[in-house]
């Protein structure tokens, strides 16, 4: 068969390119369902880190912190000094509640 030959494709020939696993059948979707409607630990950790950062970003100009570097440093210090201990406290509370549920 030449390049310009419009001959039909032979069914016995194999394609030179292998097929991906996704082309072999319909895509499968997994749906995870939570039994309780309580927020997860990740929600509380993110909340504990974001709230002090937002409050520090709002409070920095009011406290007279000048420049972008100063505001960024003030926000970083607020997250480290307030957010990280709150996130650790949330993890500790979640650990205690999880142990009580298993008993």
pLDDT by residue (tens digit) across 72-95?
999 999 999 999 999 999 999 999
> Is the pLDDT score of 50 beyond 90?
yes
Residues 43 and 85: their CA atoms lie apart, in Å, by 15
Residues 87 and 44: their CA atoms lie apart, in Å, by 7
Q: What is the pLDDT of residue 49?
A: 96
Q: What is the pLDDT of residue 75?
A: 95
Q: What is the pLDDT of residue 10?
A: 55
> Is the pLDDT score of 33 beyond 80?
no
Q: What is the pLDDT of residue 78?
A: 95
Residues 73 and 65: their CA atoms lie apart, in Å, by 10
């Amino acid at each position: 068969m030449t390049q310009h030959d419009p001959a039909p494709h032979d069914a016995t020939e194999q394609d030179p390119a292998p097929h991906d696993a996704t082309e072999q059948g319909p895509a499968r979707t997994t749906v995870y369902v939570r039994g309780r409607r309580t927020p997860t630990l990740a929600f509380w950790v993110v909340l504990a880190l974001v709230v002090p950062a937002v409050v520090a970003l709002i409070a920095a100009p009011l406290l007279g912190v000048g420049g972008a570097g100063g505001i960024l440093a003030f926000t970083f210090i607020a997250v480290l000094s307030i957010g990280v201990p709150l996130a650790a406290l949330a993890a500790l509370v979640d650990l205690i509640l999880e142990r009580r549920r298993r008993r």
